[in-house]
Amino acid sequence: MLNRSKMMKMKQENEKIAMITAYDFPSAKLAEAADVDMILVGDSLGMVVLGYDSTIPVTVEDMIHHGKAVTRGAKDTFVVVDMPFMSYHVSIEDALRNGMEIYQKTNAQALKLEGAGELVLETISRLTEGGIPVVGHLGLTPQSVNVLGGYKVQGKSKETATQMIQDALAIEKSGAIALVLECVPRELADMISQRLSIPTIGIGAGAGCDGQVLVYHDVLKYGVERLPKFVKPYLDNNEEIQSALSTYVQEVKQQAFPEEQHTFTIDKHLLPDIKGD
């Protein structure tokens, strides 16, 4: 299993870190069997598996519920769980208690927090001090979508790019073990990756990051209608899945399923005698 020092070694040797999200037992098993380095139980689960139109409604309980399923399915893989919307913004005590609860109940290897505000940085350092590894997340931070004004590329001006570099350094200084960069121009992601000693993991941040992460359902184009520009789908079988489901429905209607081979039987004489038969 991956750990902080192996991650740093991979960065130094330019061996890229492959990360993918997973939200349940079967996706975790398949991701582990594919030899991913890290699995993220992303709060994107709110959008791709729960059907919300943002990550904002996702709760601590949702993250624990899905996190537990993932760690059961991927016992030998480094699992990171997102802390959800506002679960680390009310107070330091509340943030630490939520972090502790998610970490203990899911049996994950690390937590991920978005942003680099004062309270977030303090939470990163206090969780780390308590023994909980933390991954940072900058650029497009979906929990702040309504402050950012949409799902847009971040760090496109001198001011915002400078701020992002400072934030990245502050996150590293707080003790984070890695940093996700989401929807960031390649040139800026490259600068951040070069300046940090912890690995950067990009999603829409170009090939210069120390690793890449994508959403499971995007990689398999499974149940998602529109893919962001940064996604490369490695499978496209929604039509086959749809047609398999339709065939099942038709066969039930036409009484073509179940057949003899799908059926259990006993000898007739073992059946109870019912009066009137």
Ligand X SMILES: CC(C)C(=O)C(=O)O
Ligand Y SMILES: Nc1nc(=O)c2c([nH]1)NC[C@@H]1CN(c3ccc(C(=O)N[C@@H](CCC(=O)O)C(=O)O)cc3)CN21
Does 53 belong to an annotated binding site?
A: no
Q: Which does 180 bind (CB under 5 to 8 A by kind): ligand Y, ligand X, Mg ion, none?
A: ligand X
Q: Find the shortest distance in angstroms from Cβ 182 to ligand X.
A: 6
CB 149 within 8 A of CB 117: no
Residue 148 near residue 141, CB atoms below 8 Å: yes
At residue 57's C-alpha, the angle toward residues 52 and 58, to 5°, is 95
Q: Which stretch binds ligand X (CB under 6 A): 3-11, 35-43, 60-68, 153-161?
A: 35-43
Whether 44 has a binding-site annotation, put simply, is yes
| Residue numbers annotated as active site | 182
Residue from 2, 28, 37, 42 touching Mg ion (CB under 5 A): that is 42
Q: Name the token pair of 111.
A: 């937590």
Closest by Cα among 69, 93, 94 to 84: 94
Q: Does 82 bind Mg ion (CB under 5 A)?
A: yes
Cis-peptide, bond into residue 258, ω within 30° of zero: yes
Residue number, 158 or 226, with CB nearest to ligand Y? 226
Instruction: Tell whether residue 76 is among the known ligand binding residues.
Output: no
Partner whose binding site includes residue 120, from Mg ion, ligand Y, ligand X, none (CB under 5 to 8 Å by kind): none
Q: Which does 167 bind (CB under 5 to 8 A by kind): ligand Y, Mg ion, ligand X, none?
A: none
Q: Of these, 27, 44, 106, 141, which contacts ligand Y (CB under 6 A)? A: 44
Residue sitting closest to ligand X (CB): 42
Q: Footprint of ligand Y on residues 123-162 (CB under 6 A)?
A: 140, 142, 151-153
Q: Which segment (39-47, 69-77, 90-98, 185-193) binds ligand X by CB under 6 A? A: 39-47
Matching residue, tokens 């598996």: 49
Quick one: 56 or 119, whose CB is closer to Mg ion?
56
| Stretch near Mg ion under the rule CB under 5 A, chosen from 75-83, 97-105, 151-159, 236-244 | 75-83
Q: Residue 178's CB: how many other CB atoms inside 10 A?
A: 29
d(CA 31, CA 110): 17
Tell me the C-alpha distance between 16 and 163, whole Å.
26
Determine, following the binding rule CB under 6 A, whether residue 48 of this chain makes contact with ligand Y.
Answer: yes
Helices (H) and strands (E) in the chain, counts: 11, 8
The Cα-based distances of 234 to 86, 215, 258 in angstroms read 34, 12, 34
Give the Cα separation of 27 and 7 in Å (integer). Answer: 23
Q: Tell the smallest beta-carbon distance from residue 189 to ligand Y (Å).
A: 15
Instruction: Residue 80: name the closest of 51, 45, 42, 48 by CA.
Output: 42
Query: Binding site for Mg(2+), residues?
Result: 43, 82, 114
Interface with ligand X (CB under 6 A): 21, 40, 42-44, 82, 137, 180, 182, 203, 213, 215
